[in-house]
Amino acid sequence: MDTAEFVQRGSTIVDRLSTTQAAPPWQLVVGTGVVALILVLFRPTWRILRNAVTIAHEGGHAFTALLTGRRLNGIRLHSDTSGLTVSSGKPYGLGMILTMAAGYPAPALLGLGYAALLGAHRITLMLWLTIALLLVLLLKIRNWYGLLSLLVTGGVVFAVSWFGSDTTQAALAYAASWFLLLAAVRPVIELQRNRAHEPNSDADQLAHLTRIPGLLWVLTFAAIALCSLVLGARLLLADVSAPQAIVAAGPLQVVR
């Protein structure tokens, strides 16, 4: 790619960030949702793509820590799809509670935000906001696997948004939104299933901080995930209408 083509492509993207894009065909919207559901339910793909959920989860902890005035020390992402976000500040109080509670709702709320942007036909803006968020997280990553995960994820989004056709960009954008909305439910189920073996889970740490039982925190996470899924699906499917059947008919005959 020469300099002129690079500048032209960059100008095109800048223009598209401030404008809306055409709604994709209903087959793409529905198809990406079906594919996302399969990816979440099929265990081999879930083991790989759960890394994206972990990025959103730890990002929720990290951004909430900053918003509540805590000092963000670092983020780690591990090959078993677990993660760790370390922040400094009072080990109690509202800031600590919000930071601890932000992890499990983050993928669902991010997926809902994506759905809102896509419902407003802001496909390019959604993709480049994703790149910006990943770059911010990249500044605080503290291990090699985490660095690789962010670079691969960001690289895919950048490549599609820079080189991909409108259809390819729409496919990635809708697939990402559907995936986060659907995938946000499964870690909550896993959380409750594993609480007996993981006494330091987010729900149990919140129970210690607030005296609210851990099960109620799990139910809260589940409610947020399910409500986000319903609202997000409505936004994504807003422009979808059933294809009109074309029926060839002859002159109307009235039989008496």
Query: Could you tell me the residue ranges of all domains in the chain?
Result: 15-236
Q: Is the pTM of this model over 0.95?
A: no
**What is the Cα 211 distance to its own chain's centre?**
30
Please, which pLDDT band fits residue 255 given cuts at 50, 70 and 90?
very low
CA distance 129 to 135: 10
pLDDT at residue 12, rounded to an integer: 77
240 vs 224 pLDDT, higher one: 224
pLDDT exceeds cutoff 60 at 247: no
pLDDT tens profile 225-235: 999 999 999 99
Contacts for 206 with CB less than 8 Å, ≥ 6 apart: 97, 100, 101, 212, 214, 217
Are 131 and 158 spatial neighbours (Cβ–Cβ below 8 Å)?
Answer: yes
Please, which pLDDT band fits residue 1 given cuts at 50, 70 and 90?
low
Q: Which whole number is the average pLDDT over 48-59?
A: 97
pLDDT tens profile 61-109: 999 999 999 999 999 999 999 999 999 999 999 999 999 999 999 999 9
CA distances from 163 to 8, 35, 89, 125 (A): 12, 23, 43, 15
pLDDT at residue 7, rounded to an integer: 66
CA distance 91 to 109: 25
